[in-house]
Structure 1
Amino acid sequence: MLYVLGSAALPVLDVGVVVRAAQGEGWDVCLGLTPTAAEWLGGELAELEALTGHPVKSRYRRPGDPELWPAASAVLVAPATFHTINALALGITGSWVVGFAAEAIGKGIPMAVMPCVNTALLAHPQAGRSLAVLREAGVAVLLGEGGFVPSAPGEGQPAEYPWAAALAGVARLGDGARRG
């Protein structure tokens, strides 16, 4: 069971690509989105739910509501915005996506995070600290060669987001993330 958790960066508009690819690799996929990403994909949520066979989550469930997803074997946070990366590293769980990912770290669920940030944001002093915290927590950060390679502000190519590298990163997580 692979949880794909996406935040509001332009590649999230193509999240169906990674869902289909993961399914092609044998994963059962659940899709979680930050509230803004869910808003961006509003017209496609029913199609994404049909594709995954699970409801798309973007908010915490109400007390007493049942959990509708099976337990995760692995987590892919992609695309991960600067905000999502920093919130996750700092444990600021204002969104369900970050809250689940933070808890997954504590539960030892194998996780890969693929950023979608530009070089100016990576130059911010908090970026390096947050990425180091995630790596120290055992999260595979897919940044640089073999993952997401950032560009200068305004020069990104969302259609070229390396979804295949994201799934390859999940595959490298080890036996704890292996399917069936």
Structure 2
Amino acid sequence: MTTLYLFGSAAPPVLEVSGVIEEAQGRGWDVCLGLTPTAARWLEADLPALEELTGHPVRWEYKRPGEPDAWPPADVILVTPATFNTVNEWALGLTSKFVVGVVAEAIGKRIPTVAMPCVNAAYVQHRAFDRSVTQLRQMGVTVLYGDGGFVPNEPGERRPYPWALALDAVEAVVGRRP
């Protein structure tokens, strides 16, 4: 089975992650779930069930030096929902958060990586966001943003998050699982 690292930031769609894990597993992926610290707090009550669902520990912190890795190596990484903060930290190489550190290193390891932001229309007015998206794309990350990807909503507006689009992009990057 091929391993998908699914990384989520603290945006409302992360609350739907169990259904996405089940969908990814149905597509043939062994899923390892990583979260930003805030997303882990949001899902704290669900963490045991998510670990049972994936068969792997849910991670949001770096392991100690010398500790064995709790996950198999990634064949592909999906970062979604990726918040304004996560996208900008990643593009800048600011790796104090576990998920950002893993995806920053994935660029150098040439692990196929797909990201789909979840930001509102006010955040994307900040110059750093478009610059970060451009930089990630130039580094080989598939960023699903704009036409054919995530389209920002107005602040406070809730629309269904296009999870299937993200999973389809993972399959397009590395091929459909048996």
TM-score by length of 1: 0.94
**CA distance in 2 between partners of 1:102 and 1:53 (Å):** 25
RMSD: 1.2
**CA distance in 1 between partners of 2:153 and 2:58 (Å):** 30
Q: Deviations over 1:95-133 (max 9, x none)?
A: 000000100111000000000001111111101110000
Preserved CA contact (<8 Å) 1:35 1:95? yes
**CA distance in 2 between partners of 1:57 and 1:114 (Å):** 20
**CA distance in 2 between partners of 1:47 and 1:174 (Å):** 28
Question: Identity of paired residues, percent?
Answer: 58
**CA distance in 1 between partners of 2:20 and 2:149 (Å):** 14
Preserved CA contact (<8 Å) 2:88 2:132? yes
TM-score by length of 2: 0.95
**1:169 and 2:169 correspond:** yes
Preserved CA contact (<8 Å) 1:6 1:77? yes
Partner of 2:65: 63
Preserved CA contact (<8 Å) 1:105 1:139? yes
Partner of 1:39: 41
Shift of 1:174: 3.5
Alignment partner of 1:100 out of 99, 102, 115? 102
**CA distance in 2 between partners of 1:65 and 1:49 (Å):** 19
Q: Which runs of 5 or more residues in structure 1 are unaligned?
A: none
Shift of 1:144: 2.4
Shift >2 Å, 4+ stretches: 144-147
SS in 2 for 1:60: coil
Shift of 1:146: 3.0
Shift of 1:4: 0.1
SS in 2 for 1:172: helix
Q: Deviations over 1:8-63 (max 9, x none)?
A: 00110111111110000000000000011001000000000000000000000112
**CA distance in 1 between partners of 2:67 and 2:177 (Å):** 28
Preserved CA contact (<8 Å) 1:78 1:114? yes
